[in-house]
Amino acid sequence: MTLQLTKKHSFDMVFDSQKVFRLILEVMSNPTRIANIMEYADRLSGSNPLFLAIAMTLLDNEASVDTCGDHVLSGEIVSLALARIETVDTADFIFISDESGIKDVIENAKCGTLADPQKSATVVMQYQNDNRPGSAITLAGPGIDGQAVLLAPQVAIDAIKLRDAQNYEYPQGIDLLFISGNGDLFAIPRMVKVVE
Amino acid sequence: MNSNYNYAFLDEGSKREIRRSILKAVAIPGYQVPFGSRELPIGRGWGTGGIQLTLSLIGPSDTLKVIDQGSDESVNAVNIKKFVCLCTDVKTTIDTRDATLIQTRHRIPEIPLDNGQILVFQVPIPEPLRIVEAREEATKKMHAEKDYAPMWLQLYESLVKYKKVTIPSEYPCMVEGRYVMNPSPIPKFDNPKLHKAECLYLFGAGREKKIYAIPPHTEVLPLAFDDVPFERESFLGKKCRQCGSENTYLDEIFDAQTGEKFYQCSDTSYCLEARSHVSK
Q: Known catalytic residues of B?
A: 30, 240, 243, 265, 271
Contact assignment for A13 to B12 by CB distance below 8 Å:
yes
User: Do you find a cis peptide bond into A189, omega within 30 degrees of 0?
Assistant: no
Cα B248 to Cα B187: distance, rounded to the nearest angstrom: 12
Q: 3-class DSSP state for residue B155? A: helix
In chain A, pLDDT over 90 holds for what percent of residues? 89
The answer to whether B266 and B248 are in contact (CB under 8 A) is yes
Contact assignment for A114 to B145 by CB distance below 8 Å:
yes
Domain that holds residue B271: 234-280
Chain B contact for A174, CB < 8 A?
no
Which of A32, A57, A60, A118 should one mutate to test binding to chain B, selecting the residue with the greatest count of B CBs within 10 A?
Answer: A118
Cα B152 to Cα B275: distance, rounded to the nearest angstrom: 43
Q: In what order do the strands lie in the sheet with A175-180?
A: A35-36, A184-188, A175-180, A122-127, A93-96, A64-66, A84-85
Give me the mean pLDDT over the A126-137 stretch: 82
- Within-domain flag for A38: yes
The answer to whether B158 and B126 are in contact (CB under 8 A) is no
Q: Which CATH number does the domain housing residue A132 bear?
A: 3.40.50.11310
Q: How many domains does chain A have?
A: 1
Which residues of B fall below an 8 Å CB-CB distance to A? 6-8, 12-13, 15-17, 19-24, 26-29, 31, 33-34, 56-60, 115, 140-141, 143-145, 176, 178-179, 196, 200, 215-219
Give me the mean pLDDT over the A27-31 stretch: 98
Nearest to A15 by CA among A33, A39, A31: A39
Using the predicted structure, report yes or no on whether residue A6 has a pLDDT greater than 70: no
Give me the mean pLDDT over the B222-251 stretch: 95
Q: How many domains does chain B have?
A: 2
Same-domain pairing of B214 and B239: no
CA closest to A82 among chain B residues: B13
Start-to-end Cα distance in chain A:
48
- Within-domain flag for A89: yes
Chain B contact for A59, CB < 8 A?
yes
Cα B277 to Cα B186: distance, rounded to the nearest angstrom: 27
N residues, chain A? 196
Same-domain pairing of B121 and B246: no
- Is the ipTM higher than 0.90? The answer is yes
Chain B contact for A113, CB < 8 A?
yes
- For chain B, give percent helix, strand, coil, nearest 5: 30, 20, 50
- Within-domain flag for B258: yes
pLDDT band at A123 (very low <50, low <70, confident <90, very high): very high
Instruction: Kindly report the backbone phi and psi dihedral angles of residue A75, in degrees, each rounded to the nearest multiple of 5, phi listed first.
Output: -60, -40
Residue A2 is predicted with a pLDDT of: 54
Residue B192 is predicted with a pLDDT of: 97
Cα B251 to Cα B233: distance, rounded to the nearest angstrom: 12
Same-domain pairing of B102 and B238: no
Contact assignment for B17 to A62 by CB distance below 8 Å:
yes
Cα A9 to Cα A157: distance, rounded to the nearest angstrom: 33
Residue A7 is predicted with a pLDDT of: 52
Chain B contact for A182, CB < 8 A?
no
Same-domain pairing of B243 and B120: no
- Within-domain flag for B3: no
- Within-domain flag for A196: no
Same-domain pairing of B176 and B273: no
Using the predicted structure, report yes or no on whether residue B123 has a pLDDT greater than 70: yes
- Within-domain flag for B144: no
Give me the mean pLDDT over the B242-248 stretch: 95
- Within-domain flag for A7: no
Q: 3-class DSSP state for residue B150? A: helix
Same-domain pairing of B101 and B49: yes
Domain boundary among B173, B188, B218: B218
- Within-domain flag for A4: no
CA geometry: angle at B63 spanning B271 and B34, to 5°? 100
Using the predicted structure, report yes or no on whether residue B175 has a pLDDT greater than 90: yes
Burial zone of B128 (CB within 10 Å; 0-12 exposed, 13-18 middle, 19+ buried)? buried
Q: Closest partner residue to B141 among A60, A115, A175, by Cβ?
A: A115
pLDDT, greater one: B211 or B1: B211
Q: Which residues of B touch A168 (CB under 8 A)?
A: none
In chain B, pLDDT over 70 holds for what percent of residues? 99
Q: Residues 6 or more apart from B163 whose CB is under 8 A from it?
A: none
Chain B contact for A12, CB < 8 A?
no
Same-domain pairing of B177 and B252: no
Cα B272 to Cα B254: distance, rounded to the nearest angstrom: 21
Q: Which CATH number does the domain housing residue B82 bear?
A: 3.40.50.11310
Dihedral (Cα; B136, B137, B140, B141), 10-degree rounding: -150
Cα A86 to Cα A90: distance, rounded to the nearest angstrom: 6
What value does the mean pLDDT of chain B take? 95
Instruction: Kindly report the backbone phi and psi dihedral angles of residue A127, in degrees, each rounded to the nearest multiple of 5, phi listed first.
Output: -120, 155
Same-domain pairing of B96 and B168: yes
- Within-domain flag for B108: yes
Domain boundary among B185, B218, B251: B218
Cα A72 to Cα A85: distance, rounded to the nearest angstrom: 12
Domain that holds residue A122: 13-188
Same-domain pairing of B210 and B83: yes
Same-domain pairing of B182 and B270: no
The answer to whether A58 and B93 are in contact (CB under 8 A) is no
Same-domain pairing of B18 and B48: yes
- Within-domain flag for B4: no
Tell me the whole-structure pTM to 2 decimals: 0.96
Same-domain pairing of B210 and B246: no
The answer to whether B91 and B99 are in contact (CB under 8 A) is no
